[in-house]
Amino acid sequence: MKVHLYKNRGFTLIELLVVLAVIALLIAILLPAVQSAREAARKTQCRNNLRQLGLAFQNYHDAHSALPPGTISRFPTVKETFDVLIGQAGYFDPALSSPETPWLFQILPQLEQSAAYQSFDFNSGTFGTVNLIPPYGATGINTNRRILPIRLSVIQCPSDRLSSFQYDVNALLGSSLGIPILECTRGNYAVNWGNTNWEQDADLDADGNPDTEVHFAGAPFARNKSFRFQDLTDGLDQTILIAEVRQGTHIDARGAITTSLPGGSLYMARFTPNGHRDFYNQVNESGDGIGDRMPFPATCKVERGLPCSYEGTAQLSFAGSRSQHIGGVHVVTASGGVHFVADTVDHSIWIAHHSIQGTEVTNGF
């Protein structure tokens, strides 16, 4: 009987390369599909978050017969805040300061966060007060530090990164004052602050006179002012309440939902979604002036997709709606409808949906 011995053969180099090429091809085919499926799931969650926030605002309106103020402040306008605080030696003096409590903390009960709401000290506001005349000190700055980092899934779009806002007065003012840094939550949803600037007026060059080409017809949120649904005479379906914003890092104000800064808890419609062309042509489309106009140098950290520059006149600052989604942002209207608005939306239509008494008529987005 003959015994045949067979040699074990391994793969040849060519066969191995063919296998690797096939695997690489399959990955190239499947990976975009997997990523697309994941982003679709993230977008669905983002829409659900906005739907919940829209419902929370409606429940707040049912309980209080009005929407919450965009922010609670001791000063009615941005201009008055800066004129008083910066113009006097006691800048951020406890007797003068503005505690600032944005809308998020006011609707905590409607987000099933009653315990956090009851623990929040509205007299100290989000950041307490800081005295910049000797002896330097902080009053109430730590009062709400346990509430400020609170992570609510309903304000986080899973398409964006998860980061914290570092409320650093030292960096904000460019001085080493020894004031503690507060870690605060960020979010991806901001309220509609209208179509002009932080001051919410039609004077875009701060010369004291409204600009003739600018029409500010109100917004559903403002400082110390609550609007009823019947005040939104343009119609609930025609009025955006909330839109997406992106999260910056450290003290960049974008996504700093615990603040009343542009791009934080509020945004303006001067740019179309994810855009940087100013409707009023006050901001250049290229160069250092591109992007959101932030009220403090430290609150602007330029990143890809997050362009910004410093606006020396704080009340003129503004920031737009942005997202990590390809092609647009999600919004929720006062009627509770959630929509995806394309980056290519007609700018006049985008502007029209950000007024409450502009009498504009549109066919939607």
Give the pLDDT score at 2.
55
Predicted confidence (pLDDT) per residue in 100-131, tens digit = 899 999 999 999 999 999 999 888 888 877 66
Give the pLDDT score at 9: 59
- Mean pLDDT of the 249-274 span: 95
d(CA 193, CA 205): 18
pLDDT at 323: 96
Q: Give per-residue burial for 344-361: e unless 16+ CB within 10 Å, then b.
A: ebebeebbbbbbbebebe
Mean pLDDT across the stretch 13-35?
74
Q: Which of 142-156, 224-238, 289-303 reaches the highest mean pLDDT?
A: 224-238
Label each residue of the chain as H, E or C.
CCCCCCCCCCCCHHHHHHHHHHHHHHHHHHHHHHHHHHHHHHHHHHHHHHHHHHHHHHHHHHHHCCCCCCEECCCCCHHHHHHHHHHCCCCCCCCCCCCCEEHHHHCHHHHCCHHHHHHCCCCCCCCCEEECCCCCEEECCCCCCCCCCCCCHHHCCCCCCCCEEEECHHHHHCCCCCCCCEEEECCCEEEECCCCCCCCCCCCCCCCCCCCCCCCCCCCCEECECCCHHHCCCCCCCCEEEEECCCCCCCCCCCCCCCCCECCCEECCCCCCCCCCCCCCCCCCCHHHCCEEECCHHHCCCECCECEEECCCHHHCECCCCCCCCCEEEEEECCCCEEEEECCCCHHHHHHCCCCCCCCCCCCC
Who contacts 66 (Cβ-Cβ below 8 Å, separation ≥6)?
226, 227, 228
pLDDT at 96 (0 to 100): 58
The yes-or-no verdict on residue 135 having pLDDT over 80 is no
Residue 44 has pLDDT above 70, yes or no: yes
Would you state the pLDDT for residue 52? Answer: 96
Tens digits of residue pLDDT in 302-318:
998 899 999 988 899 99
Mean pLDDT, the chain, rounded, equals: 86
The answer to whether 336 and 320 have CB atoms below 8 angstroms apart is no
Task: Using pLDDT thresholds of 50, 70 and 90, give the confidence band for residue 46.
Answer: very high
Q: Categorize the per-residue pLDDT at 10 as very low, low, confident or very high, splitting at 50, 70 and 90.
A: low
CA-wise closest residue to 298 among 310, 316, 314, 282: 310
Tell me, what's the pLDDT at 363? 75
Q: Which of 119-128, 224-233, 249-258 has the lowest mean pLDDT?
A: 119-128
**pLDDT tier for residue 99 given thresholds of 50, 70 and 90:** confident
Contact 49, 187 (CB under 8 A): no
